[in-house]
Amino acid sequence: MGSPGNETDEPLTPAGRLFVRPEMNQVIHCAMGLKHPIDVESVKSQVRSSVMLSHPRFCSLMVRDTSGRERWRRTHIDLDSHFIVLDRPVSTLNDEELVVNQYLADMSTSPGLSYDKPLWEIHLLLAHKCLIFRVHHALGDGVSLMSMLLACCRREDDVDALPRIGSVGSQRNSEGGNRRGWWQWVKLLRGFLMMGWFTLVFVVEFVLRALWVRDKETAISGGAEVELWPRMLATASFWLEDMKVVKKAVPGATINDVLFGVISSGLSRYLAHRSPNALQEGLQLTGVAMVNLRAQSGLQDLSDLMKDNSGSRWGNKFGMMLLPVYYHKSGSDPLQYLKRAKVMIDQKKHSLEAHFSYEIGHFVMTYLGSKAAGFLNYQIVCNTSFTISNVLGPQEKLVVGVNPITYLRVNSSSLPHALTMHMVSYAGRADMQILVAKNIIPDPEFLAQCFEEALLEMKEAAVATNKI
d(CA 298, CA 32): 20
CB 118 within 8 A of CB 61: yes
- Dihedrals φ, ψ of 320, to 5°? -100, 140
**Which residue intervals of 109-235 are DSSP H helices?**
142-152, 182-211
d(CA 239, CA 95): 21
Sign of CA dihedral 5, 8, 12, 13: positive
Helix (H, G, I), strand (E, B) or coil at 105: helix
Contacts of 310 (CB under 8 A, 6+ apart): 304
Sign of CA dihedral 413, 415, 418, 421: negative
Q: Is 137 a catalytic residue?
A: yes
Contacts of 194 (CB under 8 A, 6+ apart): 350
Q: Among 333, 158, 347, which Cα is nearest to 261's?
A: 333
d(CA 139, CA 128): 28
Catalytic hit among 137, 328, 350, 422 = 137
Sign of CA dihedral 440, 112, 394, 86: negative
Q: What is the largest CA-CA distance in the chain?
A: 72
Strand partners, 409: 31
d(CA 62, CA 139): 10
Element (H, E) at 432: strand 429-437
Tell which phi-psi region holds residue 112, choosing left (phi > 0), alpha (psi between -120 and 50) or beta: left
Which are the catalytic amino acids?
137
